[in-house]
Chain A
Amino acid sequence: GNNEEASTSSGSSGEGAEKKELTVQFVPSQNADTLEAKAKPLEKLLSDELDRAVKVSVSTDYNTIVEAMASKKVDVGFLPPTAYVLAKDQGAADVILQAQRYGVNDKDGSPTDELVDSYKSMFIVKKDSGIDSLEDLKGKKIGYQNVTSSAGYVWPAASLMDVGLDPLKDVQPVTLKGHDQAVISLLNGDIDAAVTFQDARTIVQKDYEDVFDQTKVIHYTEPIPNDTVAVQSDMDEDLRKEIQEAFINIGKDEEGKKIIRDIYTHEGYVKSDDSKFEIVREYGEKVKTE
C-alpha cells in the first residue's frame, strides 16, 4: 500500500507493483569541494541497473528528505550520518550502504589513494596565532557550523570535551553557515579557530591562494562515518537487496564510477548497517546541549 503512494507517476515501465517508479533524493555531504546539482546521470545509471523508472532529485536540506521518507514520498535517500541517525530514530529510514571516498592528505588537503568510508574534521587556526593545542582555545572565539553538523559541531565538540572544555561555555561559540565561510572568517580574524571538514581550505583556495600558508591544523577529530544510502523503513527485503547491488555495481563500473565521482565525489559504495552509527548516537548524546 505504501509503495503505491511513494510512486508519484508511473513511467514507461509502470506495470506491476514491483516496477513502480523509485524516487531517490540526494543531499550532498558537507565535505565536498565540487558539487553539481545534477540528477539525470544517476537516474540513468540506476534505472539501467534496476530496470525500472527512477526519479532522482537533489536538495541541500536533509530535514526535507527525512520528512519525505517518513511520509513515503522518497524511497531512497543519500543522508549524512547525523541526519541518518535522526531519521532512523524516527523510524523513517534504514541504512543499506555507505559511500566510499579517498582519504585526505593531512598536509595539503590532496586526496590519498586509499578508499575509506569515513572522514575527519579538524580545528584550524592562524599560523601566527600562538594557539597550538585544544587547551589553548579556552576563552577563544570558535567558529562552528549548525549544532546538527557532524564535522562542523558534534565531533569537534566531543574533542573539546575530551580535553575538559565545555564547547559552548568555555569558548566563545560563533555559528557560521558553510565550511568555506568558517575558513574565511578565520582568515579575516573574526574568529580565532574554525572547525571544518578535512580539508575545507581547498574550496577557499580558489579565491584566496595562500590559505594553506596562513593557517595550520591543531587537531583532527575521530573518524566520522561517510554519507549513507538509506531506504524508507517499509521497503521490502528484495528491493533493498536489489538497490544495494545496483549501487555497488555502479561503483565498480568504470563509466558509473566516473559519474558518481564527478557529480557526488563518491568513489563507490559498501554495505553498511545501523550498528556502524552507534558512534554517531554516542557523540550526539555526549554533546547534547539540553
Chain B
Amino acid sequence: MNNILLQSPKRTGKKIRNGAILAIVIAIYIWAFAGMPALEFKDTSKEIVSAIFSGLLHPDWDYVYYPDGEDLLRGLLDTLAIALLGTVIAGLLCVPFSFWAAKNIVKNKGISGAGKFVLSFIRVFPDIIMALLFIKAVGPGSFSGVLALGIGSIGMLGKLFSEDIESIDLGATEALVATGANPIKAIWFAVLPQVLPSYLSFLLYRFEINVRAATILGVIGAGGIGTPLIFALSVRDWERVGIILLGIIIMVAIIDFCSGKIRARLT
C-alpha cells in the first residue's frame, strides 16, 4: 500500500492559501487585541455592582400595577402589542424579499444579488433613524414603533429566510415542475410546505427580539415598557429596573414556552 497517501494530498497552492488565511485571521486578532486597554477592575465596581444587584433583587413591586395606569402591566401589554404587530408586518413583507434574494429560486445571480443588497441595506439602517422617519410620518407613539419594527425586521427575517429557502430539498420542486406547474405553483406546493416551519420559527424568534427591542424604542418615545426602563436606568433606580426586567424575563419566557410548543407542532 502506498504510504504517500498517509499525507493529505492537498496541493501546495491550497496549502499556501490556507496558511495565508490563517495568518490574516491571526493578524486580525492581534490588531483587535492590541486596541484593547489592560483589563482592570475599578475601585467603584464593588459598591456600584452591589447597589445594582441589591436593586435588582429587591424589585419595586408597587410598580406592577397602578390603578390609574402607566404601570408595568400596561407597559408590557403595550410592548407586546407593538412587537406582535411589528412582527406580523415584517413577516408578511419579508416573504417577497426572501424569494427575490434566494439564488435557487431566482436563477439569475445579478437579480438575487440585488435582493440580498436590499436586505443588507434595510439591516444597516439604524433602528433609531427608522423610528425617526416614522415619527415624522405618524407622530410619536406606539404606532410609529410598530412601523419602525415592522420595516426594520424585514432585513433580518429576509436574510435568514432566504438562506433557508436556499437550503431546501429541490426534489419536490422538481416533481412539481415535471407535472407542468409554473414557478409560482411549484413554489406554492413544493417550497412553501418545506420552509413553513423554519419561517414560523424565525418569526417567533424575531417576535421575541422585537419584545426586547422595546428598550431601544423607549429612547425615542415610541411606546412600550422601554421608556420607563430607560428613565429608570438613567436615574439609577435599580429597584424599578429590577421589576421591569423581571417583567420582561417572564414575558419572554412565556413567549419562548409557547413558541417551543408551536414549533414542536410544526416539525
Q: Are B70 and A208 in contact (CB under 8 A)?
A: no
Interface size in chain A (residues, C-beta < 8 A): 42
A184 CB contacts on chain B under 8 angstroms: 44, 48
* With A25-B221, A40-B68 as contacts: A68 and B136 at CB distance below 8 Å: yes
Interface residues in B234-258 (C-beta closer than 8 Å to A): 234-238
* With A40-B70, A59-B140 as contacts: A208 and B48 at CB distance below 8 Å: yes
Question: In the docked arrangement, what's the CA distance between A181 and B219, Å?
Answer: 17
Interface residues in A84-131 (C-beta closer than 8 Å to B): none
CB A23 to nearest CB in B, in angstroms, measures: 6
* With A39-B70, A70-B136, A73-B140 as contacts: A59 and B221 at CB distance below 8 Å: yes
Kindly state whether residue B51 has any CB partner on chain A within 8 Å. Answer: yes
Listed residue (B51, B136, B237) with the most chain A CB atoms within 10 angstroms of its CB: B136
* With A25-B221, A60-B230, A64-B131 as contacts: A207 and B136 at CB distance below 8 Å: no
Question: In the docked arrangement, what's the CA distance between A187 and B219, Å?
Answer: 27
Question: In the docked arrangement, what's the CA distance between A110 and B219, Å?
Answer: 29
Q: Which applies to chain B's interface (DSSP): helix, strand, loop or mixed?
A: helix
Q: Are A36 and B231 in contact (CB under 8 A)?
A: yes
Q: Which size bracket describes the interface of B in this complex?
A: 35 or more
* With A57-B140, A180-B234 as contacts: A207 and B219 at CB distance below 8 Å: no
Question: In the docked arrangement, what's the CA distance between A35 and B233, Å?
Answer: 10
CB A46 to nearest CB in B, in angstroms, measures: 16
Question: In the docked arrangement, what's the CA distance between A38 and B43, Å?
Answer: 36
Interface residues in A56-71 (C-beta closer than 8 Å to B): 57-61, 63-65, 67-68, 70-71
Please pick, from B51, B139, B140, the residue contacting A208 in the complex, using a CB distance under 8 A. Answer: B51
- What are the interface flags for A134-178 relative to B under an 8 Å C-beta threshold, 1 for contact and 0 otherwise? 000000000000000000000000000000000000000000001
Q: Are A61 and B235 in contact (CB under 8 A)?
A: no
- What are the interface flags for B162-176 relative to A under an 8 Å C-beta threshold, 1 for contact and 0 otherwise? 000000000000000
CB A115 to nearest CB in B, in angstroms, measures: 23
Please pick, from B42, B43, B44, B221, the residue contacting A58 in the complex, using a CB distance under 8 A. Answer: B221
* With A60-B219, A60-B230 as contacts: A206 and B136 at CB distance below 8 Å: no
Question: In the docked arrangement, what's the CA distance between A197 and B70, Å?
Answer: 29
A67 CB contacts on chain B under 8 angstroms: 132, 135-136
Closest to B218 in A: A60
- What are the interface flags for B14-56 relative to A under an 8 Å C-beta threshold, 1 for contact and 0 otherwise? 0000000000000000000000000000111101100110000
Kindly state whether residue B178 has any CB partner on chain A within 8 Å. Answer: no
Q: Are A32 and B235 in contact (CB under 8 A)?
A: yes
Closest to A205 in B: B236
Closest to A6 in B: B139
B69 CB contacts on chain A under 8 angstroms: 40
Closest to B71 in A: A38
Kindly state whether residue A203 has any CB partner on chain B within 8 Å. Answer: yes
Please pick, from A8, A37, A63, the residue contacting B70 in the complex, using a CB distance under 8 A. Answer: A37
30 examples of A-B residue contacts, CB within 8 angstroms: A8-B139, A35-B235, A40-B68, A40-B70, A57-B140, A57-B221, A57-B223, A59-B222, A59-B227, A60-B219, A60-B230, A61-B128, A61-B221, A64-B140, A64-B220, A64-B221, A65-B221, A67-B132, A67-B136, A73-B137, A73-B140, A74-B139, A74-B140, A180-B236, A187-B44, A188-B43, A188-B44, A189-B42, A208-B51, A209-B47
